[in-house]
Structure 1
Amino acid sequence: MMAGTRSREVILACLIGTSLEWYDFFLYGTAAALVFGRLFFPEADPLTGTLLAFATYGVGFLARPIGGVLFGHFGDRVGRRNVLAVTLLVMGLATFLIGLLPTYATIGVAAPVLLVFLRFVQGLSLGGQWSGAVLLSVEHGHPARRGLYASWPQVGVPAGNLLAAGTLGLVNVVLPDDAFLTWGWRLPFLLSSLLALAGLWIQANIAESPLFTQVSTRSRLPLAEVVRTHPRALVATFCARIGVDVAFYVFTLYVLTYLVDKVGVSRDTGLNAVFIASAAQILLIPFFGALSDRIGRRRVYLAGVIGASVWAFAFFPLLDGGTFPVIMLAVGVALVAHAAMYGPQAAFIAELFSTRLRYSGSSLGYQPAGVAGGALAPIIAIVLLDRFSTTTAISLYLLASLAITALGLAIAPKPVAWTAELAPRRQ
């Protein structure tokens, strides 16, 4: 396909690739909550085993800033499309290998070591993937619709979470517990070979970003230049993401552990609630992205921050009710608030950086926040509840994180003037 690639086709390709990428990443997190503690850390008590499983989950977040720097450099040097294709191939391979990995009972301590290594590779890939998908979409799109166009790769997050929860949930329902723990959990990981095909298709069929191709001079060291020229934008990006990540991983991942271990409901109940709420987010995220084109990124973003802050104190009391309709209400409203933040987020961040430095700038500001936010959120939630014996401690943690996000919105500079506004109009 030539340079005249229509924006709809670019967005669809990025959405499919991002959904499969996040499917792989969330699949690990869901498995960590449900089975990895018993399979890879069987000698630990249940609480310690869960903490260790989530710690390996966090390794992926530690690798994301490294992947962001590495792939960001090449994204600003050689282009968005090829870098995005490479990240999809790497993620697909790493996840496929996790599906083949022997457990502790077979190879001993080598099992968790290999698990951590493959999780690190997953994190490297995801660290570069987000910016590539967002920038391909928004730089192909009409300037007046950046919020909507940039929101479609964001839809890959709930879509991937939906696929991960749904696939594991289906396997869990179809197979008895012994079969699920022995080999059934591997099947969703082996399906990640589809991600490699998505990467190859994008590389062969999608045109490079028209804005990137019009950049007259490309930075030799984009990382160093973006730190020197956009320091305020980097800090604002970091802060704006913190609360969004903490809220998401508490509302969708920690909730699975809480419902099983503290409320005493079946794991199917939590998976089904997350499944349904994630399905709703597929529509809500582009809705809020489009709304930000009409009334402004910060207004929509801040409305989500306020909504999530209030709901943080209703979330756990509702879960404690133990009935599925009430649990569904708790998770559903929480993810509506998250969608209001996540919908405008990609365009908000992209518009803070000039085209020649946008891949490095968005990655460098965005990915380290994943370590401070999403990587630690489930672990901090477990420790807070164990230490204080009340979910109010977790709610206050959510409130503090969202306050940092509000600060990021307040200190963000005005959007920069992009070097070219010749993106093709919607056809």
Structure 2
Amino acid sequence: MSSPTTAATPTAPANPRSRVITASLVGTTIEFYDFYVYATAAVLVFPILFFPTGNDTTSLLLSFSVFGAAMVARPLGAIVFGHFGDRFGRKATLVASLLTMGIATFLIGCLPTFNEIGVWAAVLLLVLRLFQGFALGGEWSGAALVATENAPKGKRAWYGTFPQLGAPLGFIIANSVFLAINYLLPHPDGAAQRSDEFLAWGWRVPFLFSAVMVIIGLWVRLRLVESETFVKAEEKGVIRKFPLGTVIRHHWWHLILGTFIMLATYVLFYLMTNFTLSYGTKPADLETASAAAQKAAEAAGTAFDPAAFAAQFYPGLGFGYTDFVLMQIIGVVFFGIFTLLSGPIADAIGRRRLLLWVTGLIIVFGLTFNLFLSPQLDPKFTGALTQAFLIFGFMLMGSTFGPMGAVLPELFPTNVRYSGSAIAYNVSSILGAALAPIVAVWLWSSAGGSPVLVGLYLSAMAVLTFIALILSPETKDVDYDADLGVGATGSL
């Protein structure tokens, strides 16, 4: 008669570490590339081509509203993909999320504009944007689980940084593609500005290019096998028929904590990318802004009222698009570096301790916006101060975003880990990412072009995260193999 030890044979081969790292990194890079392509276009293109209201602020707010609509779809994606990921495994769910995101992004690149089909252009853009959000709702958690459930002992936070690294890499690739397209097109108004050809068709190329990246991502992910942790949960009979019910009934407090732990990260990131791109590239004087707005109105086929424009004008920093995106990319390099550095530190001292320190620094950082970004500063120092602001902000972003790949999954047991971490991550996206660009533009305009209220908004959100961290447990020593979940059978 066989002993229990000899009878227990592996039911799934282990994933090589290189495959785990590649699959979690490549997939999230592609997903975030698709997301950032839209985010960049939401600032540079869509207000003109899809929301030509004749009012610069209103067009930008409408564009950001559609951008934020995807965040509302993300919790739905988290529920659907989380359900299938906890019921049937991580691999197939990750493939489905990648396909959904890739198809939606490609189709955005094919959309007609407002001049061609009127308001239906905005409606179709909204529908595809919702599909993007739905897909991303299932992507992040699955990638984080592939990384952390296959991580060696004592290196879970380090492995968890690789799907997080997809965010800075996706940003760099997306904006590099935009820069390359813009650079190769003629620039009658100067190389730092957007060209007419860019508005006519060049903006479509980054969306269409996503098809190539999706094919690469699918090839990598289809080579994965299921994690041994999930297989053990299946063997123990703890897989739930309705994971959402289990996670709400037994782990509701951790859902709340996870949502607010992620809040400051979301607000910081979308302020550093979307808001700063709007603020940095908005003209610093009325004459330049009026000329640019009149040209945009002509391109969109709408009337331009100089008096009305002057009444609602508020200044930005006046950088050209190319110049400012290059400055952002320099900052995002630090984002990537500090994302990787945060993993070993979180493994050494604990996730909670590291995040408390970083969140405290984010609170302070929010109080410095007017010191770095004020339009009233001497123009000789504007470039250096803005670059320093971007570098410091993205350093903090990497330090807080990196450990999240381990923290949120560790709050939940194996049989609801996909659902729990995905819901917390994506509900936080509504409170943070969906509202941050809209709130920031409103505060910016309300303050007459000063970013001081935007910084205070970031600090306030970081205070909420700090409180959630104080109330949360340290998850560094959670044993994935022992923490399979409640219930002796798969029924609920």
5+ long unaligned stretches in structure 1: 423-427
What corresponds to 1:297 in structure 2? Answer: 351
Write the deviation string for residues 41-60 of structure 1: whole angstroms up to 9, x where unpaired.
Answer: 12331111111111110111
Q: What's the counterpart of residue 17 of structure 1? A: 27
Instruction: Supply the distance in 2 between the matched residues of 1:186 and 1:316 (Cα, whole angstroms).
Output: 35
1:32-181 → structure 2 map (5 Å cutoff)? 32-176=42-186, 177-181=195-199
2:253 aligned with 1:220: no
Distance in 2 between residues matched to 1:124 and 1:232, nearest whole Å: 24
Matched, 1:183 2:201: yes
Q: Which residue of 2 aligns with 1:232?
A: 253
Match of 1:335 among 394, 397, 400: 394
Shift of 1:162: 1.1
Provide structure 2 residue ranges, at least 5 long, that are not aligned to the other structure: 1-11, 187-194, 283-315, 485-492
Where is the helix percentage greater, Structure 1 or Structure 2? 1
Q: CA deviation at 1:266?
A: 1.1
Residue 393 of structure 1 corresponds to which residue in structure 2? Answer: 453
Task: Indicate whether 1:208 and 2:262 are aligned.
Answer: no
The amino acid across from 2:430 in the alignment is V
Q: CA deviation at 1:110?
A: 1.0
Task: Report what 1:352 is aligned to.
Answer: 411
CA distance in 1, matches of 2:436, 2:393: 15
CA displacement at 1:421 relative to structure 2: 8.9
Structure 1 distance, partners of 2:328, 2:29, is 16
Change (3 A) 1:330 1:384: same
Per the alignment, residue 440 of structure 2 pairs with: 381
The one-letter code of the counterpart of 1:143 is K
Q: 2:421 aligns with which of 362, 365, 390?
A: 362
| Amino acid corresponding to residue 328 of structure 1 in structure 2 | Q
Matches within 5 A, 1:21-32: 21-32=31-42
Contact 1:131 1:359 in 2 (8 A): yes
Q: Using the aligned pairs only, state the percent identity.
A: 38
Compute the TM-score of the two structures, normalised by the length of structure 2. Answer: 0.83
Shift of 1:199: 4.3
The CA deviation string for residues 88-111 of structure 1, in whole angstroms up to 9 with x for no partner, is 011111000001111111111110
One-letter amino acid of the structure 1 residue matched with residue 339 of structure 2: I
CA distance in 2, matches of 1:351, 1:21: 23
Q: Distance in 2 between matches of 1:377 and 1:274?
A: 18
1:315 to 363, 366, 369: 369
Secondary structure of the corresponding residue to residue 43 of structure 1: coil
Measured in 1, the distance between the counterparts of 2:196 and 2:40 equals 18
Q: 2:281·2:318 contact (CA, 8 Å) conserved in 1? A: yes
Rg larger for: 2
Task: Quote the Cα distance in structure 2 between the aligned partners of 1:376 and 1:296.
Answer: 30
1:232–1:412 CA contact under 8 A, matched in 2: no
Instruction: Report the equivalent of 1:241.
Output: 262
Measure, in 1, the Cα distance between the counterparts of 2:468 and 2:343: 18
Distance of 1:313 and 1:401 partners within structure 2:
12
Q: Is the 8 A contact 2:76 2:137 kept in 1?
A: yes
Asked whether 1:306 is paired with 2:360, we answer: yes
Query: Secondary structure in 2 aligned to 1:144?
Result: coil
Equivalent in the alignment of 1:288? 342
Q: Structure 1 length normalisation: TM-score?
A: 0.95
Paired position in structure 2 for 1:255: 276
Letter in structure 2 aligned against 1:162:
I
Q: CA deviation at 1:265?
A: 1.6
Distance in 2 separating the partners of 1:64 and 1:317 = 35
Runs of 4+ deviating beyond 6 Å: none
TM-superposition CA deviations, 1:267-313 (whole Å, max 9, x none): 22221111111122222101111110001101211221122221222
Residue 410 of structure 1 pairs with residue 428 of structure 2 = no
Q: What SS does structure 2 have at the residue aligned with 1:4?
A: coil
Task: Call closer, same or farther: CA 1:81–1:316 in 2, change over 3 Å.
Answer: farther
TM-aligned CA deviation for residue 204 of structure 1: 2.5
Instruction: Tell me how far apart the structure 1 counterparts of residues 216 and 355 of structure 2 sit (CA, whole Å).
Output: 31
Contact conserved, 1:237 with 1:362, CA < 8 A, in 2? yes
3-state SS of the aligned residue for 1:214? Answer: helix
Hey, what's the Cα distance between the residues in 2 that align with 1:147 and 1:204? 24
Q: CA deviation at 1:243?
A: 1.0
Moved more, 67-76 or 190-199: 190-199
Distance 1:136 1:417 in 2: 16
What is the CA RMSD across the aligned residues, in angstroms? 1.6
Could you say which residue in structure 2 is the equivalent of 1:425? none
Which SS does the other structure have where 1:206 is aligned? coil
The answer for the alignment partner of 2:6 in structure 1 is: none
Number of aligned pairs?
421
Q: Residue 165 of structure 1 contacts residue 274 of structure 1 at CA under 8 Å; is this kept in 2?
A: no
Could you give the per-residue CA deviations for residues 357-392 of structure 1, whole angstroms, max 9, x where no partner exists?
Answer: 100110111111101101110110111122233322
Give the Cα–Cα distance (whole angstroms) in 1 for the partners of residues 385 and 96 of structure 2.
Answer: 42
1:81 and 1:202 in contact (8 A); partners too:
no
